[in-house]
Structure 1
Amino acid sequence: MNQLPNIRALSNEQLAGFMESIGEKKFRTQQIQEWLWQKHAAGFDDMTNLSKALRQQLSEHFSLPALTINTTQNSADGTVKTRFTTFDGHKIEGVLIPTDERKTACVSSQIGCSLSCKFCATGYMDRKRNLNFDEIYDQVMLINQQSEALYQKKLTNIVFMGMGEPLLNYTNVLKAIDRITAEDGIHMSARRITVSTAGVAKQIKKLGDDGVKFKLALSLHAPTDAKRNEIMPINETNNLKALAEALNYFYAKTKNEITFEYILFKNFNDSQKDAEDLIKLYRQVPADLVNIIEYNPIDAFTFRKPDEEGMERFMQHLEKNRVNARLRRSRGKDIDAACGQLANKDK
């Protein structure tokens, strides 16, 4: 493993100080920053407008541990799943989800996950480590390159709904979003970024205190503590009352959009009573939308999705009670790229 300091962890002032210490002109700092954040150099040799001597100096003092593409899979519906390799040999997955109006990157925040949600393939993996902020940034840049190559369009949206729990990698996720939204980064509006959490109440409140600008999604998936405890162990320490309080606090501080994510499981959370419980919860929180999601089967979990009529009945009951709900059809199921399916399956 490379022991040299990561050049992308340096502030502009620190990099400028290094340039001065080796007798280089100030403008070189800006050139290097452009290579690191806008031109997405994978190594110092890519920085072709720098002298060979300067590139050599950089390589002797710093590392540039860029993410690389391991494999890509293309779905019949246009979705692209990419497995990336980290500098220390771990694998993570990200997904490009194209529609006519949007090109969305679904990115990971951890290598594996510690939360063990029963319906999520990543939850059956060990959590190896958090992703560094520049590794998260690299996913976005590489998926953006795919979008431009395949669809001649840049990414319009980013969702932190890949592998891992973003709020358990709080600092790196926020630093990555700062970089993504920066003028000298991708310069995407924070309003086009959604961070999805399984529900870490303390960190949801911290988002409010930190005045973040991005949207928040709660992976709800069950409308009562008893049912949520069955499929999401995190609920035992972050129950629905605590989450409702945290979401209200977040909204009071930021006025940012909040979405509920709710996967329908046949004969578990899809009854009229479940819909009623969901409506009650919806009215306790300033949520803009409830995304009703088709369940995507994984090998380790025996639940099934309801039939079309069952999903429609559930949706109609929500709509009749003035809940802003949308049925989200799964994308990339044929390549295990849909919601809950990312797991490095054929590693």
Structure 2
Amino acid sequence: MTLIKFAYLCIVEKQSKLIDIRSLSLSELKDKLTAMGEQGFRAKQVFEWLWVKSCTDFDQMSNLSKSLRETLKQHFVIRAVQVKQSQISSDRTIKSSFTLYDGNIIEGVLIPTPDRMTACVSSQVGCSLTCKFCATGYMDRKRNLQPDEIYDQVVLIAKQAEEKYQQPLTNIVYMGMGEPLLNYSGMMKSVERITAPDGLNMAAKRITVSTAGIAKMIKKLGDDEVRFNLALSLHAANDKKRNEIMPINEQNSLQALAEALKYYYAKTKNAVTFEYIVFHNFNDEIQDAKELAKFCKHVPCKVNIIEYNPIALADFVNAEADKIDQFAEYLRGQGVITNVRRSRGKDIDAACGQLAIKEEDANLVAD
């Protein structure tokens, strides 16, 4: 056992005896504090420090008495996410690795463009879906992220936007490591804290949650009448091809997804985005575009054609530029709103599908 791992285990053991204060609702926090003999209004003050001011140190809660701050430290813990290291791409994209309280590591990305600053955040440590073209899919899923761990990524990436580019964060995409709909509770609670007036107060329409396609959970999004945007990583519009690259399709066929999306739209009236990587000699023919255009008829939608970003573990190659253009033009000719997205951060492995923890980092907390 390394000294670093031993130190993490000691921290985890110590923190396990304390209450994770950010796991409590405002009413739960009020109950805890009043049971300790504190006045109930103090809970609102603490809650504001945690979720509006994003404070991760009880000693910095300056409008609380010293005795109350000591009481908080004795009973509660703030399991803050820390930036481990950051890399800046030639196109100004910033990829960061984040260390969690238990020593696990995740990655997130700041994507700057002329009209927006977007945070790409992770929802799980690793992933269980094994998509063949995605680096994260070759990792094991260790655990779901807690809502505050997702929230912290947003706060830290927003700080980078302000410090590096003097611009505020404008958008959030749940497109990092993991499948957000397999961490449904954590994802939803993080969105609530990010959008709440007593949180970051960010507009839900500025948030996009991307899924590989979990039909029953897409329906649940409809039942919950979510206000954020939904994106489906499609990449093939026939089951045979999609099964080859996305094993999740074997239990969530295109027909099942179409039915779920119709249900979702009927409940929310939110248009859907289909993400489609055009792979060379796999799904780049006009026949593939025809199948995609047909699938697009199920619900109001748009298509984002995404440039493929090669990874060492897979043999896929990006389609040729003229093939991508022909593909996009066919879709537009069928009345489908279509955008071609160029990858950002490729030179630092920060582009879509490239997020993965290097072996030396994974060994930090390996058994």
Could you tell me the TM-score, scaled by structure 2's length?
Answer: 0.92
Amino acid at match of 1:134: D
**Is the counterpart of residue 277 in structure 1 residue 291 in structure 2?**
yes
Q: What's 2:219 paired with?
A: 205
RMSD: 1.2
**Matching residue's letter, 1:129:** R
Alignment of 1:73-222 (within 5 A): 73-222=87-236
Amino acid at match of 1:279: A
CA distance, structure 2, for counterparts of residue 147 and residue 342 of structure 1: 20
Residue equivalent to 1:321: 334
Structure 1: 5+ residue stretches without partners: none
Match of 2:259?
245
- Residue 28 (str. 1) matches residue 32 (str. 2): no
Matches within 5 A, 1:248-259: 248-259=262-273
> How far apart in 1 are the matches of 2:44 and 2:111?
33
Q: Percent identity?
A: 60
Is 1:335 matched with 2:359?
no
Partner of 1:344: 357
Q: How does 1:36-51 map to 2 (within 5 A)?
A: 36-51=50-65
Structure 1 residue 306 and structure 2 residue 305: aligned? no
Deviations 1:196-233 (A, max 9, x none): 00000000001101111111000000110000000000
In the superposition, the TM-score normalised over structure 1's length comes to 0.97
| Cα contact 2:271–2:299 (8 A) shared by 1 | no
Aligned to 2:303, the other structure's residue is in SS state strand
Q: Residue in 1 aligned with 2:365?
A: none
Contact 1:248/1:286 (CA < 8 Å) preserved in 2?
Answer: no
Distance 1:219 1:75 in 2: 25
Q: Which one of the candidate residues 248, 251, 255 is aligned to 1:234?
A: 248
State the distance in 2 between where 1:146 and 1:34 align: 22
Matched with 2:308 is: 295
Q: Residues of 1 paired with 2:351 and 2:358: CA distance?
A: 13
Contact 1:81 1:93 in 2 (8 A): yes
For residue 71 of structure 1, give the secondary structure of its aligned residue in structure 2. strand
Q: Distance in 1 between matches of 2:49 and 2:132?
A: 42
How far off is 1:36 after superposition?
0.6
Contact 1:195/1:214 (<8 A) preserved: yes
Decide whether the 8 Å contact of 1:69 with 1:84 is kept in 2.
Answer: yes
Matches of 1:344 and 1:25 in 2, distance apart?
45
Out of 18, 29, 40, the residue aligned to residue 15 of structure 1 is 29
CA deviation digits over 1:124-165, x for unaligned, max 9? 000000000110111111111111112222211111000000
3-state SS, counterpart of residue 261 of structure 1: strand
Q: Which amino acid aligns with 2:310?
A: P
2:348, 2:292 → 1: CA distance?
31
Q: How does 1:262-273 map to 2 (within 5 A)?
A: 262-273=276-287
Q: What do the CA deviations read for 1:268-290 (whole angstroms, capped 9, x no partner)?
A: 00011111111111112322x10
Q: Render the CA deviation track for 1:284-321: whole Å, top value 9, x for unaligned.
A: 2322x100000000001101001211211111111122
Supply the distance in 2 between the matched residues of 1:150 and 1:30 (Cα, whole angstroms). Answer: 32
Contact 1:161–1:195 (Cα < 8 Å) also in 2:
yes
- 1:61-120 CA distance string (max 9 Å, x none): 111111111011101111111110110000001111111211111110000000000000
SS in 2 for 1:218: strand
Counterpart residue identity of residue 254, structure 2: L
SS in structure 2 of the partner of residue 342 of structure 1 = coil
Residue 66 of structure 2: which of 52, 57, 74 is its match?
52
List alignment gaps of at least 5 residues for structure 2.
1-11, 362-367
Give me the whole-angstrom Cα distance separating, in 2, the residues matched to 1:246 and 1:36. Answer: 36
The answer to whether the 8 A contact 1:223-1:277 is kept is: yes
